[in-house]
């Protein structure tokens, strides 16, 4: 193959009588490509005997690049994909080979062996594509609703390191502090029922616990949901919450807050803090990256999304270091706003100080007289209270 690549296509020189000057062989470009395809196809066969399926795939693909009608190369490529359990790619290689030789017994037999798994892989891909289209439309609807009601969406980095060697010695990336990673849930609109509903997280820092509410209607008062999660104590002995040993978590005894994140366009934000999403495209890219990192789009797309997120994190770190010298130089803790239980979710998310991280409305909840509540207020400035619409 090394020497074949050195040969350049040409036409044999002849004299005025049409006779060649010498016996030096000359090849057209098509003849050279056929020869190169045969060489790479033979190399794929050698690797098949050695069960080097990755090399079989590489050589067979190169053979088809030189001559797409090389049926032997199509078979060997399909066989490599079969052994690598890449079923849809195997089906495509089989179909391509049968186009040029519909009676090829090796390809026909291989199709019979792989047909069920190929069909299953193709159906799964079609399902992923439908889900991607549906989620794209849903993100557009969410963004439109937010723009119409001055609701600010934000995001946090989906990774915590910019290289494989950095950070936690190969442990799962999990440095999100009390902001949880993306849940995969989006706000939804129910035209004949509750209108817009949002996924919501109740965080209990005093006990390192949380509750996830998948559908919190914008028209619901906070007290309604709190009564579901932390009902009033009917039995004097205990609450219904197994980790609430001191019977402190009943809805009438709870203080609810949300953090005030920076909403200024162009502001320099610490890499670990919430960054507002600038436009619809940024919201869609964030959602697709989160889906890919969870494995919804397969291993390869997950790796691509991880590289993109690492680049974004690297750029945010670079800007922060340039202006503040070090990542250890962090801003003061975010101020907070208290929420009255009579306020609706719509009152909260439309407040000018609210940024919703990761499409997930997040509340921080303390028992009123708990020491952790007092410590929280010493560390975080409270800017006021949302009492709801009058």
Average pLDDT, rounded, for the chain:
86
Which phi and psi (to 5°) does residue 366 adopt?
-130, 150
Exposure string (b/e) for 143-153, b if CB count within 10 Å is 16 or more?
Answer: beebeeeebbb
Quick one: 158 and 215 in the same domain? yes
Q: Domain range holding 37?
A: 2-120
Angle in degrees, CA 112, 118, 120, rounded to 5:
125
pLDDT tens-place string over residues 335-364:
999 999 999 999 999 999 999 988 999 999
pLDDT of residue 279 exceeding 80, the answer is yes
Q: What percent of the chain has pLDDT over 90?
A: 52
Rounded CA-CA distance 330/246 in Å is 35
Q: DSSP secondary-structure letter at 162? A: S
Task: Enter the pTM of the model.
Answer: 0.71
pLDDT tens-place string over residues 125-163:
898 889 888 888 999 999 999 999 999 999 888 887 887
129 SS3 class: helix
> Does residue 132 belong to any structural domain of this protein?
no
Quick one: 320 and 208 in the same domain? yes
pLDDT of residue 167 exceeding 60, the answer is no
> Does residue 138 belong to any structural domain of this protein?
no
Quick one: 101 and 219 in the same domain? no
> Does residue 135 belong to any structural domain of this protein?
no
> Does residue 158 belong to any structural domain of this protein?
yes
For residue 177, the model assigns a pLDDT of: 39
pLDDT tens-place string over residues 25-69:
788 889 899 999 999 999 999 999 999 999 999 999 999 999 999
How far is CA 244 from its chain centroid? Answer: 35
> Does residue 128 belong to any structural domain of this protein?
no
Q: Where are the beta strands (DSSP E) in the chain?
A: 152-155, 188-190, 195-204, 209-217, 254-259, 275-276, 336-339, 355-357, 361-367, 382-386
For residue 235, the model assigns a pLDDT of: 62
Last residue within a domain, chosen from 120, 135, 168? 120
> Does residue 310 belong to any structural domain of this protein?
yes
| Residues 6 or more apart whose Cβ sits within 8 Å of residue 288 | 132, 135, 305
CB 276 within 8 A of CB 260: no
**Confidence category of residue 104, pLDDT binned at 50, 70, 90:** very high
pLDDT of residue 175 exceeding 70, the answer is no
Quick one: 237 and 341 in the same domain? yes
Quick one: 156 and 65 in the same domain? no
Quick one: 108 and 153 in the same domain? no
Last residue within a domain, chosen from 74, 104, 120? 120
Quick one: 106 and 170 in the same domain? no
For residue 7, the model assigns a pLDDT of: 83
Quick one: 116 and 230 in the same domain? no
Nearest to 265 by CA among 157, 152, 359: 152
Quick one: 55 and 151 in the same domain? no
Total domains, the chain = 2
**Confidence category of residue 247, pLDDT binned at 50, 70, 90:** confident
Region of residue 192 (phi > 0: left; psi between -120 and 50: alpha; otherwise: beta): alpha
Rounded CA-CA distance 27/29 in Å is 6
Quick one: 225 and 87 in the same domain? no
> Does residue 136 belong to any structural domain of this protein?
no
Quick one: 155 and 271 in the same domain? yes
> Does residue 27 belong to any structural domain of this protein?
yes
* CATH for 24: 1.25.40.10
Quick one: 112 and 152 in the same domain? no
Rounded CA-CA distance 93/97 in Å is 6
Rounded CA-CA distance 77/126 in Å is 23
């Amino acid at each position: 193959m090394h020497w074949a690549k050195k040969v350049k296509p040409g036409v044999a020189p002849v004299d005025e009588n049409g006779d060649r000057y010498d016996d030096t062989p000359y090849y057209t470009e098509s003849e050279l490509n056929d020869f190169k395809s045969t060489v790479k196809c033979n190399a794929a066969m050698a690797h098949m005997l050695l069960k080097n399926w990755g090399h079989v795939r590489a050589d067979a693909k190169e053979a088809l690049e030189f001559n797409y009608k090389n049926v032997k190369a199509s078979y060997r490529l399909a066989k490599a994909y079969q052994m690598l359990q890449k079923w849809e790619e195997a089906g495509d290689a089989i179909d391509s080979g049968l186009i040029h030789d519909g009676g090829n017994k090796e390809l026909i037999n291989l199709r019979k062996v792989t047909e069920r798994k190929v069909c299953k892989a193709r159906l799964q891909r079609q399902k992923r594509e439908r889900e991607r289209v549906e989620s794209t439309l849903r993100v557009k609807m969410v963004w439109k609703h937010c723009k119409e009601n001055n609701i600010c969406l934000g995001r946090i980095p989906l990774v915590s390191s910019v290289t494989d060697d950095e950070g936690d010695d190969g442990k799962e990336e999990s440095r999100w502090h009390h902001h949880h990673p993306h849940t995969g849930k989006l706000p939804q609109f129910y035209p004949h029922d509750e209108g817009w509903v949002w996924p919501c997280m109740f965080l209990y820092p005093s006990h390192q616990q949380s509750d996830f509410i998948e559908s919190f209607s914008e028209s619901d008062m906070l007290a309604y949901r709190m009564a579901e999660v932390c009902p009033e104590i009917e039995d004097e002995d205990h609450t219904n919450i197994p980790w609430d040993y001191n019977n402190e978590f009943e809805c009438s005894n709870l203080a609810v807050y949300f953090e005030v994140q920076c909403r200024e366009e162009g502001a320099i934000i610490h890499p670990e803090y919430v960054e507002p999403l600038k436009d619809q495209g940024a919201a869609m890219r964030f959602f697709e990256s989160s889906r890919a990192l969870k494995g919804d789009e397969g291993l390869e797309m997950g790796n691509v999304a991880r590289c993109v997120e690492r680049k974004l994190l690297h750029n945010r770190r670079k800007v922060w270091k340039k202006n503040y010298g070090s990542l250890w130089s962090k801003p003061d803790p975010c101020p907070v706003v208290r929420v009255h239980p009579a306020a609706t979710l719509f009152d909260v998310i439309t407040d000018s100080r609210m940024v919703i991280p990761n499409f997930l409305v997040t509340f921080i909840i303390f028992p009123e007289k708990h020491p952790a509540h007092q410590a929280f207020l010493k560390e975080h400035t409270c800017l006021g209270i949302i009492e709801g619409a009058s």
